[in-house]
Amino acid sequence: MGERRWEVGICGTFDVANYGDLLFPLIAELELRERLGEVKVHRFSYHTKAPPAWAYEVTSVSSLPEIVHRLDGLLIGGGFLIRFDKDVAPGYSPPTPGIHHPTGYWLTPALIALQNNVPLIWNAPGMHCNDVPPWAIPLLERALTLSSYISVRDEPSRLAMARLTSAPVTVTPDTAFALTRLLELDAPPSPEYQRLCESSGLKSPYVLVQATQGLEGFARFVRKHREQLGNLQFLALPIGPVLGEREDNIDAGPTGVVRLSEWPRPLAIAELIGRSEAVVGHSYHLFITALTSGVPIFTKHNLATGKYCALQHFDTIFSLPADGEPQPDWFLTRLGRKPPSAAVLATYPPLASHWDRVADILRSGPTLTSIAMNRFLQTLPTLLEDAEISTAGSVGTLASEQAEYGQHLAEAERKLAAANVKQMEQQARLDNVKRQLSSACAEIALRDAHIAAILASASWRLTKPIRVIQRQLRKQEDGIC
């Protein structure tokens, strides 16, 4: 280990109340100190935070341009970080309008690091399930290609990133799988854990339930089977308050749920998870914390899709029924903390190799990426101009197509108008025929009435013998002829 103090930056959403996001700087600090000695970790997010109101100090990305030259390296992630959609969290936005959202907390810092010869390391982040917009492709391509090391946490993220660079992209387990190294679950509970339990009345055994919407069925299960569940307590805990999670989302009756009076610090949350008999929910890092602690997981979430696909091979994740209400016996027989599974233990060697490589990169010193970045900046006006020309061309093509469609529409409208006129003429002729038919029908009815009146008259009856004689005389005349 060297005697110097290392200064390492890490970028992410460390300024929001979301359990998983808050873990990465703590893990990075532990791993790097073991390998390098004294390390100052600079946590960069949109907004400045500081103790005691926050778990640790966070520096705004708006200060990065002033600090970057002091850094020995910059880590991007982890977490679900590589994204371009705006819906990161309700109300979450950059500190100044000039900083782009959401690339302002990951892509822009990466480019700033490269411009200043600071080694850029992708710390096993995940790629969001959306496409890279055309404007961002050259920027992300440059950032990836000039990086000192690219690791992502799952295969879908690797495939997405590999399309943008010729540099190798490594799949590494989420760094939170090393979380138990920050906990001492086999030792007596921490003072913070004991304080939270005493203030809330929480006692073992208990099940930790993520206080999110969608678990109403599980709350019904607790209410229905309270006696069969015995002395088992249920702790309703928000994992991501920034995402709208609240304790009152879980209503299992007046005696069914324990709630804390405060949202704990990240390591206290990890200990609450690690000392539970089971967890219920859908949070990615709730799952990882439980897995590393040997705690069973119950969820309604489909592990075959999106970021969860990296967790589908763990055998202590159990699927709840669609209505969220399991059979009591099935649920109870799966409770209880056990040693971490073989699948969890298998994440440790690649994570150790990951941090070894990160430390080696930091020891190697500054890069020469500023030269390539300068060349990129030379081409940037051309890229922007080409994009504008392409946009103008697209607009011109669209205008031409619109004009052509306008002509087709005008011709169609002309034909429609002519057809309407023809239809009106045909309707007029039809109406005239209907009037003539109506008149003829009236005349026929009048004639029929007149004939009926004649046939019903007395004169017609009195002259009947004469008409009979006349018919006989005609027959005789016809016979003589």
- pLDDT tens for 254-302 read 566 999 999 999 999 999 999 999 999 999 999 999 999 999 999 998 8
pLDDT confidence tier of residue 1, bands split at 50, 70 and 90: very low
pLDDT tens for each residue of 55-89: 999 999 999 999 999 999 999 999 999 999 999 99
Residue 27 has pLDDT above 80, yes or no: yes
| Cα–Cα distance, 397 to 90 (Å, whole number) | 38
Residue 38 has pLDDT above 60, yes or no: yes
pLDDT confidence of residue 446: 87
Diameter of the chain by CA atoms? Answer: 154
User: Who contacts 240 (Cβ-Cβ below 8 Å, separation ≥6)?
Assistant: 17, 18, 19, 20, 212, 283
Tell me the backbone φ, ψ of residue 237, rounded to 5 degrees: -130, 120
**To the nearest whole percent, how much of the chain has pLDDT over 70?**
95
C-alpha count within 13 angstroms, C-beta hemisphere, residue 229: 25
C-alpha count within 13 angstroms, C-beta hemisphere, residue 390: 8
Q: Where are the beta strands (DSSP E) in 187-335?
A: 206-210, 233-237, 258-259, 278-280, 297-299, 317-319
Residue 437 has pLDDT above 50, yes or no: yes
Residue 474 has pLDDT above 90, yes or no: no
pLDDT confidence of residue 374: 92
**Closest by Cα among 237, 228, 249, 227 to 279:** 237
Q: Where are the beta strands (DSSP E) in 157-296?
A: 170-171, 206-210, 233-237, 258-259, 278-280
pLDDT tens for each residue of 173-193: 999 999 999 999 999 999 999
| Cα–Cα distance, 311 to 318 (Å, whole number) | 12
Task: Using the CB atoms, write b or e for 258-275: b if 16+ within 10 Å.
Answer: bbbeeebbbbbbbbbbbb
Residue 481 has pLDDT above 80, yes or no: no
Report the run of H or E that residue 157 belongs to, with start and end.
helix 155-162
What is the number of residues in the chain?
481
Average pLDDT over residues 121-138: 90
Q: Where are the beta strands (DSSP E) in 146-219?
A: 149-152, 170-171, 206-210
Retrieve residue 386's tokens. Answer: 């080409």
pLDDT confidence of residue 439: 87
pLDDT tens for each residue of 407-430: 888 888 888 888 888 888 898 898
Is the CB of residue 105 less than 8 Å from the CB of residue 44? yes
Retrieve residue 295's tokens. Answer: 């705690």
Report the run of H or E that residue 357 belongs to, with start and end.
helix 348-363
Is the CB of residue 20 less than 8 Å from the CB of residue 124? no
Average pLDDT over residues 229-249: 93
Average pLDDT over residues 85-101: 94
Residue 356 has pLDDT above 70, yes or no: yes
Residue 237 has pLDDT above 50, yes or no: yes
pLDDT tens for each residue of 195-214: 999 999 999 999 999 999 99
Sign of CA dihedral 20, 22, 28, 33: negative
| Cα–Cα distance, 23 to 212 (Å, whole number) | 20
pLDDT confidence of residue 128: 66
Helix axes 369-455, 107-115, angle to 10 degrees: 160
